[in-house]
């Protein structure tokens, strides 16, 4: 395919006319398609229906430590849930605390606690003039929303194919005491699907933060969410790596079963050093008598162990893989060689990230919407919703059916082409 | 019975010897009994076992608004759960927001949010020199732990048989801008089992707070937790009452099904004015994608409606009533007329409150422990764990069996007598 840039004004105009005709045809169909959020599909939810039967009125509801899970007690998680989530996130059982249904809630509470009570005895962040967070971009909008909510200044750190630009991260963290944290989705990142390289993880573990209450917020949301059985990314386990480097307290690791069992009815956890967990429990025992132990038991008994969970994830992969491949093959077929956008082919996670020509993302999302396709709002993958290049678009292929995805991606690439031609034409003719 | 105070030193000494003999006998039995926490008993938990079957792998898991409860979505509660908990707490469905499994967590989050973000636009409390809370005493230790955790100054307000001393409440609230809240358990209060009188509720609704961000924290934990079918307290609904008085935003009402279904696996909620709820949702949507909808659905389908829940509560009452009556009858039989303690006979809730002679509570609790009976720590019912008179002891009769309770209460009254005699003797002989 000839890059659009190399086409003449006449050729581009002709192309545009034809694309507009196709666009009008598809628009007339009044479609309603959604590629905006990383929601599992009905078929994926059906995979866990057995979980609805694993506990019933005949079940023994006493957990390993001998506690009746129907009653009060056990602040930080029953033993079998700790074991399962510890294995899931590759840490020792004693380094994990189980929470409620949402790892986002755990992250929010972690920041809220730091604001009002500091971190392991440090000055509460709300008493400081300025608190800053590093935000690898593109990233997860809900992370950025938390730090924005607390008035924390967010600094963009560009992502590379190996993870965040570590030169920048080191420069900020090691010199600026106001930098208290960094948001990371280290494996199959949201939205690019990038897994941090070994070198990146090691550089994280070797940080020498100016602030002693600096923490890496390591949101391992997609730790076992592979798309392929034979091609899987590997991420170095950060807690152990930090410990080796003499920085055992520098990281909080978050995870949940939201995209393993049921979103909203899963189990979330934090993994951290004993000193961090002691600090967390101090607040936790004021905040609650305990989280839902029956749901913890339900999860532990349904998956049995980490092997059961890994096998379960293969079934998710079988459903997700064709969807990702549909989107990617339409993009490659229709956009390949045109030089009006780039993307990475992820091996796991929930998203595909598309980088359009500068200044085109908003217009593309608007165009797709015209024809009934809802995309994640352009800018959402950046702090304050502001993509400085107006270029990044997040594609979430999990929820629609493969048939819907094919149509939706067709509309998306059509929108990309139309908006890109407009941009190139306006440059060529000005 | 002759009051101990009227006995001679010789008579008291003789009594003491006999009581000590009985105490040693019971101590030799090496009992292990617990009247310390308001935990439902196994028999009560068994009442809700049907809840484990109400959702299974054949169930339609779509809620009234057409959302698949297994997936993300619905921030503030599914419609059927809202209706059930709204009826339970006697407010319109639109005035309720459903949370996770713990109303304590909702209260904690409410204070945490006020600290960092203020209340409906007010200055965040963490930016203020001083924040004060009124604490009716005796009261609930976990309430006081929250305000203590946030460094909020707590002021004791004595309870009367009609609720908190409203002269004091009005004096503080209407004049001191630093007073931002008051902890209330308005029905079958923890620990006294007092229900606020109509007059008390009306005086609450008519408060004219100096601080516009003053809120009544109305923890309606025992709203439908009656012990009797024929003798029930009635509490005026505070939201409507505040609205009538032109103070619609002055109250947050908290509730949960912890002592209706399963503690730790129930559903909690907040009821408040639309303006308050809008403020709450603003934070909630940053904190979580949503709480456990499957558990909301499980509750709604199990109880069907408020009538089902009321009928269910009668079964709880049938189990709890004899326990309360056992404790009360032992106390009346053994302590009646001795003038070494007083108590109220509650019509609902989870506790009996005992007021010993001044300076005796700690010693009584220690004495009972010697013989294997664990009571709530003396002082726990006061802010900072400090009962200025060292007099109040909370008795929780729900968890042990009636047989265990009889033995435990025998040991308790024995401890009361021994400690009281020591006090009276030391006064008489000094």
**Residue B1 above 90 pLDDT?**
no
Residues B221-237 have pLDDT tens digits of 999 999 999 999 999 99
pLDDT of residue A1: 82
Q: Give the closest residue to A270 by CA, choosing from A285, A281, A282, A259.
A: A281
Report the C-alpha gap between A382 and A388 in whole angstroms: 9
Report the C-alpha gap between B173 and B216 in whole angstroms: 10
Q: Give the closest residue to A41 by CA, choosing from A254, A317, A232.
A: A317
Report the C-alpha gap between B366 and B1 in whole angstroms: 26
Q: How far is B49 from chain A (nearest CA, A)?
A: 5
Q: Give the closest residue to A237 by CA, choosing from A191, A269, A205, A285.
A: A205
pLDDT of residue B156: 98
pLDDT of residue A288: 96
User: Per-10-residue mean pLDDT for chain A, 430 residues long?
Assistant: 94 97 95 92 97 96 96 96 98 98 97 98 97 98 98 98 98 98 98 98 98 98 96 97 98 98 97 98 96 98 98 98 97 97 97 98 98 95 98 97 94 98 94
pLDDT of residue A424: 97
pLDDT of residue B161: 96
Q: How far is B316 from chain A (nearest CA, A)?
A: 15
CA terminus-to-terminus distance, chain B:
25
Token pair for residue B333? 């039989």
Cα torsion B377, B380, B384, B389: sign: negative
Token pair for residue A351? 């998203």
Helix, strand, coil abundance in chain A, percent, nearest 5? 45, 15, 40
What residues in A contact B128, CB-CB < 8 Å? none
The model carries a pTM of 0.97
Residue of A127, A286, A350, A376 to mutate for B, most B C-beta atoms under 10 A? A286
Residues B5-41 have pLDDT tens digits of 999 999 999 999 999 999 999 999 999 999 998 999 9
Report the C-alpha gap between B78 and B69 in whole angstroms: 9
Q: How far is B66 from chain A (nearest CA, A)?
A: 14
Return the H-helix or E-strand segment holding A34: strand A33-35
Please check whether residue B7 is in contact with residue B338, taking contact to mean a CB–CB distance below 8 angstroms.
no
pLDDT of residue A430: 84
Token pair for residue A122? 């440090």
Could you give the ipTM of this predicted complex?
0.96
Burial zone of A160 (CB within 10 Å; 0-12 exposed, 13-18 middle, 19+ buried) = middle
Residues B268-291 have pLDDT tens digits of 999 999 999 999 999 999 999 999
Query: E strands of A195-241, at which residues?
Result: 215-219
Residue B340: pLDDT band (50, 70, 90) is very high
Q: What is the mean pLDDT of chain B?
A: 97
Q: What are phi and psi of A278, to 5 degrees?
A: -60, -40
Q: Which of A108, A287, A294 is nearest residue B287 as measured by Cβ atoms?
A: A108
B123 near A CB under 8 A: no
In chain A, residues 251-310 whose CB comes closer than 8 Å to chain B: 262-265, 283, 286-295
Size of interface A-B (CB pairs under 8 A): 162
């Amino acid at each position: 395919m000839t890059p659009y840039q190399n086409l003449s004004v006449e050729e581009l105009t002709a192309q545009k006319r034809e694309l507009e005709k196709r666009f009008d045809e598809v628009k007339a169909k009044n479609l309603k398609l959604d590629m905006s959020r990383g929601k599992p599909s009905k078929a994926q939810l059906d995979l866990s229906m057995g979980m609805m039967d694993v506990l019933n009125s005949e079940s023994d509801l006493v957990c390993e430590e001998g506690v009746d899970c129907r009653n009060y007690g056990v602040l930080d998680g029953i033993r079998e849930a700790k074991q399962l989530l510890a294995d899931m996130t590759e840490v020792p059982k004693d380094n994990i605390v189980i929470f409620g249904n949402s790892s986002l809630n755990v992250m929010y509470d972690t920041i809220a606690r730091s604001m009002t009570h500091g971190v392991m005895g440090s000055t509460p962040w709300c008493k400081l003039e300025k608190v800053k967070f590093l935000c690898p971009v593109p990233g997860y909008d809900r992370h950025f929303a938390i730090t924005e909510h607390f008035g924390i200044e967010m600094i963009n750190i560009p992502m590379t194919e190996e993870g965040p630009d570590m030169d920048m991260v080191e420069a900020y963290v090691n010199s600026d005491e106001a930098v208290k944290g960094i948001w990371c989705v280290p494996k199959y990142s949201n939205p690019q699907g990038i897994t941090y390289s070994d070198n990146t993880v090691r550089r994280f573990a070797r940080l020498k933060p100016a602030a002693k209450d600096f923490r890496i917020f390591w949101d391992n949301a997609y730790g076992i969410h592979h798309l392929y059985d034979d091609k899987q990314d590997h991420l170095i386990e950060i807690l152990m790596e930090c410990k080796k480097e003499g920085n055992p307290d520098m990281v909080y690791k978050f995870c949940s079963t939201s995209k393993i069992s049921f979103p909203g009815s899963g189990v979330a956890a934090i993994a951290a050093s004993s000193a961090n967990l002691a600090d967390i429990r101090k607040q936790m025992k004021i905040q609650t008598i305990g989280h839902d132990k029956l749901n913890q038991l339900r999860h532990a008994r349904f998956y049995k162990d980490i092997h059961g969970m890994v096998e379960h994830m293969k079934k998710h992969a079988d459903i997700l893989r064709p969807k990702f491949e549909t989107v990617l093959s339409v993009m490659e077929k229709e956009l390949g060689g045109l030089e009006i956008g780039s993307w990475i082919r992820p091996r796991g996670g929930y998203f595909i990230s598309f980088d359009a020509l500068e200044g085109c993302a908003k217009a593309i999302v608007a165009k797709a919407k015209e024809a009934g396709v809802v995309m994640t709002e352009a800018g959402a993958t950046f702090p304050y919703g502001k993509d400085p290049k107006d270029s990044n678009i997040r594609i979430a292929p999990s929820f629609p059916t493969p048939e819907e995805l094919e149509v939706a991606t067709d509309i998306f690439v059509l929108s990309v082409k139309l908006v890109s031609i407009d941009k190139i034409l306006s440059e060529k003719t000005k």
